[in-house]
Amino acid sequence: MTEKYAILGNPVAHSLSPVLHGLFAKMMHDDITYEKILVESGMFSKTCADFFRLGGNGCNITVPCKVDACEFADNLTEYAKCAGAVNTLKKMPDGSVLGDNTDGRGLVNDLKRLGLNLAKEHVLIIGAGGAAKGILLPILKESPLSVTMTNRHFEKLESIREMTDERVNLVRQENLEPKYSLILNATSSSLMGVLPNIENRVIASSSFVYDLMYHKEHKTIFTEHAKKLGVKNVADGFGMLVLQAVLGYELWHGHAPDTAAAFNEIAKIAL
């Protein structure tokens, strides 16, 4: 029987999730439909309940509904709990709805794909919003040499202090030193075409710079800025997008395409 999936959010018109899940289903010979559902303001709970009542098997959640989805789920994985946000919901055999957050593990898998061994990295995370919280636990699980977080408004990092422990250093932007081997931009600044206010001296040319946002030709304002400062190893969040979708696919179907094969197929359709 055809299984029914969707992405819920606002906006959703631009979403690549239907293309990615359609491609994975083709590769795995699964029979699915995947639609885009626009959620009007204040209507998440009703829209999502309707989707599952009408036979939905699972859905992805995008902005601004990830926190609402956390409240909607009957049960949460440890990743969703830690992030306080859900990007994937699944209807379980007993009728309950499970909420997961695959964003952070998608990022970690992409960093591995790019050849990084997080256990050998001094990691700097810029940002204190949902994206930054979502990646923290999966990164800590890889036992990096150190993890530092910074944010434009330092006070906002207080909420991170409550959810973590002494493994995470919270540092004001002006006190950062140029000692990070992996710099992750988890702010939404690239979306607005501006740089997070990190001093140039912090961005060592030997560091790996990764922007969680993605943009045409895999160039974001932050990765381009890093390149101008002499950084050779940069990446945008397109790989993270693909790999969080692979993890969501696995949660729903119990199997998923091989990562390298998935990237090969995606390259053919040149998103």
In whole angstroms, the minimum distance from the beta carbon of 230 to ligand ATR comes to 22
Q: Does 194 bind ligand ATR (CB under 6 A)?
A: yes
Among 12, 89, 131, 262, binds ligand ATR (CB under 6 A): 131
Choose one: 50-58, 113-121, 145-153, 215-223; the region binding ligand ATR (CB under 6 A). Answer: 145-153
Q: Does 189 bind ligand ATR (CB under 6 A)?
A: yes
Tell me how long the chain is: 271
Q: Does 197 bind ligand ATR (CB under 6 A)?
A: yes
CA angle 111–107–239, rounded 5-degree value: 75
Among 9, 56, 99, 127, binds ligand ATR (CB under 6 A): 127
Q: Does 99 bind ligand ATR (CB under 6 A)?
A: no
Catalytic residue among 4, 66, 90, 133: 66
Q: Does 152 bind ligand ATR (CB under 6 A)?
A: yes
- CB contact at 8 A, 246 and 14: no
66 is catalytic: yes
Among 62, 102, 148, 187, binds ligand ATR (CB under 6 A): 187
DSSP the chain: --EEEEEEESS-TT--HHHHHHHHHHHHT--EEEEEEEPPTT-HHHHHHHHHHTT--EEEE-TT-HHHHHHH-SEE-HHHHHHT--SEEEE-TTS-EEEE--HHHHHHHHHHHTT--GGG-EEEEE--SHHHHHHHHHHHHT--SEEEEE-SSGGGGHHHHHH--TTEEE--GGG--S--SEEEE-SSGGGGT------GGGS-TTSEEEESS--GGG--HHHHHHHHTT--EEE-THHHHHHHHHHHHHHHHS----HHHHHHHHHHHT-
Q: What is the largest CA-CA distance in the chain?
A: 58
Q: Does 128 bind ligand ATR (CB under 6 A)?
A: yes
Q: Does 151 bind ligand ATR (CB under 6 A)?
A: yes
Residue nearest to ligand ATR (CB): 129
Q: Does 129 bind ligand ATR (CB under 6 A)?
A: yes
In whole angstroms, the minimum distance from the beta carbon of 101 to ligand ATR comes to 12
Q: Does 237 bind ligand ATR (CB under 6 A)?
A: no
Q: Which is nearer to ligand ATR, 24 or 72 (CB)?
A: 72
Q: Which is nearer to ligand ATR, 56 or 134 (CB)?
A: 134
Choose one: 4-12, 40-48, 92-100, 122-130; the region binding ligand ATR (CB under 6 A). Answer: 122-130
- CB contact at 8 A, 160 and 137: no
Residues that bind ligand ATR (CB under 6 A): 127-132, 151-153, 156, 187-189, 194, 196-197
* Catalytic (active-site) positions: 66
